[in-house]
Amino acid sequence: MPDYDSWSGELFDSLAFEVNPGWISPRRRGVGGAEESLMELDVRTLYVALMVATLWSAIMVGAANLGNQAAPGVWRWVLAYLMLTASWGLVALRGHAPNWLTVLTPNLLIFSACALIHSAIVVVLGSYRRLQLTWSITLAGSLAFTLCFPFVEFWALICINSFTVGCILLNVSTVLLQGAKRSAAPARCTLGLWLGMGGVMMMVRLVNGVLNRPIDLMPNGWPQVLILLIALTIVLGSVFGFALMSREEMLLELNRRATFDALTCAYNRHAFDPVGQAALARLAREGGAVSVLMLDLDHFKQINDSYGHATGDVVLQTVTTRFQDHLRAGDVLARYGGEEFCVLLPATPLHDALDVAERLRLAIAGQPVMAEQRQLIVTVSIGVASTATNGVFSDLIARADSGLYAAKAAGRNCVHVETTFS
């Protein structure tokens, strides 16, 4: 029968722990008493694993967006990951190729790739906040690394790399997390956390470089191994977060297009009608009154026929801006079709609605519209309807529309109240 106690005792005696500065590495006595690492991971192998993971991520993201002309941010991300792939591959050649190729070139690629990742994110988000800071850090880090490369020890280069990449990733993470807080976008938050982890990791690497001063850019040992394993996780997690964020932004954009008019950025008719019906439903609970204004630009077809549709578009945009400038915070403006607009006035009785209508009429007629270096006189006819009872919103719209036709019949550029009250 095997002597398990004797066997386990021999195994325990064969183990030793070698204490390095700040790190404990389990060792085993091999044949002849030589010590071997129990869990030694080759740093070069980890760089190859990083290269494969980054390349695969770039291929998957690129393949998922083939033919997608509306995804310039996605293709910048793919390019950034291809640059990272090249950098990991060059670093893995360390010792088999010149230093300028395995040290200087990959670090400059990494700096540029991190900045390109920020560029990809801001294109997807449509906001270029703090991008200039990222490119400034990138240029400063690239210049410092290039100038110091021939003269300083490797640990100093590691510190420059860690500080530059860490600052870029923390800056991008801040942009994402602040944006997620404002817009309640969980995918932005996910990507921001992954990139923030990368930034923190690089700052830890910076501290480790200052304290331990490694003599090579590929030092073996658990500090470097742990950093590369975390980097591998962040590469995969970040591409997952970016894919989620791209999808989230696409859905938000589709919602914006379904809600707002592309030319004027006012509500469109499809989204406006439910808002109006909800305002009427609140009457049953809160009381008060709801009013609607129906507005139509006078002789707008003549502007299109005489000066072209580009001039007509400028007129519509200018008129929309003036409407919005003279409406209250709770009022809702919609482009109802063509040159026709509609305004929902919640909690507004008829006499207040008439004041708002007259204010809007004067805002348009009181000042010419500048379009294509021309001063155009534009006026608006307005129909007003009000109700104090819950009902069907389309009925209220129809009454305001009747008032609009009456205003046009009365000579245009005036306000008319629909006479059937409810």
Q: How many C-beta atoms lie closer than 10 Å to residue 266's C-beta?
A: 23
Q: Are 114 and 168 in contact (CB under 8 A)?
A: yes
Q: Find the helix or strand (DSSP H, E) in which 61 lies.
A: helix 43-64
Class of residue 164 by CB neighbours under 10 A (exposed 0-12, middle 13-18, buried 19+): buried
The length of the chain is 422
* Angle of the 105-125 helix axis to the 131-148 helix axis, nearest 10: 180
Q: Is 369 helix (H, G, I), strand (E, B) or coil?
A: strand
State the Cα–Cα distance between residues 296 and 408, nearest whole angstrom: 9
Q: Is residue 246 packed enough to be buried (19+ CB in 10 Å), middle (13-18) or exposed (0-12)?
A: buried
| CA atoms of 192 and 198, how far apart (whole Å) | 10
- Strand, helix or coil for residue 389: coil
Q: Is the dihedral of CA 109, 111, 117, 118 positive or negative?
A: negative
Neighbours of 180 (CB within 10 A): 20
Name the catalytic one among 248, 249, 339, 418.
339
Is 209 in contact with 159 (CB distance < 8 Å)?
yes
CA dihedral sign of residues 344, 349, 351, 352: negative
Q: Give 325-334 contacts, CB < 8 A, sequence gap 24+.
A: 325/363, 326/356, 326/359, 326/360, 326/363, 327/356, 327/360, 328/356, 331/356, 332/267, 332/272, 332/275, 332/276, 333/266, 333/267, 334/261, 334/266, 334/267, 334/268, 334/269, 334/271, 334/272
What's the helix, strand, coil split of the chain in %, to 5? Answer: 65, 15, 20
339 annotated active-site? yes
CA torsion 71→77→79→85, rounded to 10°? -150
- Which residues does the annotation mark as catalytic? 339
